[in-house]
Amino acid sequence: MSTCQPSAHAIKDTTALLKQELDATATHVIRAPGRVNLIGEHTDYNDGFVLPCAIDFATEVAIAPRTDNRIRVVAADYDNQRDEFAAGARPQHSDKGWANYIRGVVDVFIQRFGPLPHGLDMVVSGNVPQGAGLSSSAALEVAVGKALQTAFGLDASLRDIALLGQQAENEFVGCRCGIMDQFISALGKDGHALLIDCRSLETETAAIPDELRVMIIDSKVQRGLVGSEYNTRREQCEAAAAHFGVKALRDVDLAQLQAARDELDPLVYRRAHHVITENARTLAAAQALRAHDVERLSTLMAESHASMRDDFAITVPPIDALVEIISAVIGKRGGVRMTGGGFGGCVVALVPDSLVDEVTQAVQRDYPARSGGLVAQIHLCRAREGAHVL
């Protein structure tokens, strides 16, 4: 088992690398965390509710201003690969995948604030596991956004930076994600989950009880289908909303949906059923967390998982097995469900301190046989603060 920090993949010393690779002296280092979602899956792009927390895996960016108009970037986790482009014009796409997240953020900042007045050197490094559904992309976008805001003294709040990060991902990278990941990476609160209303963008904090640990169990299932299936789910949700003539499924209640069952394509009905019931569960879970009602939380997380499996069809057999293995240990003394976009990735469990070892042993003992030989990786996390200058 590893804890979130220090992890097997430590964040590199970006300040030292800035000097070594670009002969520049850092003026600031910015840090933005990954996230784990406790409940509220595929609800954000339906204008619904989510309940994530930021975790201690993060991306860091060291910056130094330049006197010319070049933006130079070193990706410390990609063998110090480099990217370079002009600060004064909207960037083109790069053939390096990682570079497009940075170029995308620069592009939306230029659209919003105009050409950047001078160049910038940046070194980027992070330890958010990639492809595990813990929002490594959002952490990178938010870190770069906060870096640009800091370097150029731009009038952009953390909320603006989150929205610009999402815009970069939607428009430049080409993934139609919702707002959850960038928002929690920007605005996470130490020790707390954040209930986010993805329509109004209002937030409420919910303290995670001291006696509960946030366990993230990486199934190690490759998230192959996530791009195409994610977009298909969005289209199905939009089709359901269109049937009711509303902007988003947020505006449809369960009774309305049930009354229209015969008029809807059965698959569209199930997708909408997940979203509508998940919104209600998310609001209830925030209340249960605040009331330290672990039994209720446990039930809601179990129902959320079943809904993702049966209605939204985004879980896979090894993930279902992991949830069953952990659930058999914790019963109603904690909660467990798949977290993130689906088709692999991680399971999140809220587990009393006293059961952490037992859960770990059960996963190590039972998961390989139930997953065709996969070995899960367990991270023991705490809820952390969102993006900030170190």
For 86, 110, 209, 286, 300, the CA distances from 289, given in Å and listed in that order, are 48, 41, 7, 5, 11
Q: Are 136 and 128 in contact (CB under 8 A)?
A: yes
Q: Which is nearer to ligand GAF, 18 or 50 (CB)?
A: 50
Q: Does 41 bind ligand GAF (CB under 6 A)?
A: yes
34 touches ligand GAF (CB under 6 A): no
Query: Does 385 carry a binding-site annotation?
Result: no
Contact status: 309 vs ligand GAF (CB under 6 A): no
| 99-129 burial code (b ≥16 CB/10 A, e <16) | bbbbbbbbbbbbeebeebebbbbbbbbbbbb
Closest distance to ligand GAF from the beta carbon of 282 (Å): 10
- Binding ligand GAF by CB under 6 A: which of 29, 36, 38, 44? 44
Length of the chain: 390
121 binds ligand GAF (CB under 6 A): no
Q: List the end-to-end C-alpha distance of the chain, in Å, as a whole number.
A: 28
Residues 6 or more apart whose Cβ sits within 8 Å of residue 271? 233, 236, 237, 240, 311, 312
Choices 4-12, 38-46, 82-90, 112-120; region in contact with ligand GAF by CB under 6 A: 38-46
Task: Work out whether 51 is an interface residue with ligand GAF (CB under 6 A).
Answer: no
Catalytic residues: 181
Is 278 a residue that touches ligand GAF (CB under 6 A)? Answer: no
3-state secondary structure of 140: helix
Q: Find the binder of ligand GAF among 11, 12, 31, 45 (CB under 6 A).
A: 45
9 is in an annotated binding site: no
Site for ligand GAF in 225-264 (CB under 6 A): none
Residues 321-340 touching ligand GAF, rule: CB under 6 A, are 340
Flag whether 367 is marked binding: no
Give min distance, CB of 17 to ligand GAF, in A. Answer: 29
DSSP letter string, 55-123: EEEEEEEEEEE-SSSEEEEEETTTTTEEEEEESSSPPPPPSSHHHHHHHHHHHHHHHHH-S-SS-EEEE
Q: Which residues are annotated as a binding site for Mg(2+)?
A: 137, 169
Q: Which residues bind ligand GAF (CB under 6 A)?
A: 41-42, 44-45, 177-178, 180-181, 340-341
Q: Which residues are annotated as a binding site for substrate?
A: 41-44, 230
